[in-house]
Amino acid sequence: MSNKYPFVEDTPGKKLEAGTGISVYCGTCKRKVRLDVAELVRGFGPDQPCMHWDLVKII
C-alpha cells in the first residue's frame, strides 16, 4: 500500500489491498452483514466500483 493522500477505497481491489471490509445494513429488518471482499474481487473484478449505487446495480 502506498502513502498517497487522500487514500480512497472505492473498488474491491483497493479495499482488499488495504485489508478493510464492506458491511451492509438493512434499515427495515435491522440486520447487518459483512461482505467477503475477496469474493467480490473474484466475481466482479478488482476495478468494479463498490459505492452503494454501483453495487445495487450488479448484486
Interval 37-52: pLDDT, tens? 999 899 999 998 877 8
Which cell numbers hold the place of 30? 435491522
Pick the residue with more confidence: 55 or 36? Answer: 36
The candidate with the shortest Cα–Cα distance to 58, out of 5, 2, 12, is 12
Residue 22's pLDDT is: 87
The full set of domain ranges for the chain reads: 12-58
Q: Establish whether the linkage from the previous residue to 12 is cis, with ω within 30° of 0.
A: no
Across all residues in the chain, what is the average pLDDT? Answer: 87
Please list the residues that pair with 35 across neighbouring strands: 22
pTM, entire model: 0.69
Task: Give the tens place of pLDDT for each residue, 14-33.
Answer: 999 999 988 989 999 999 99
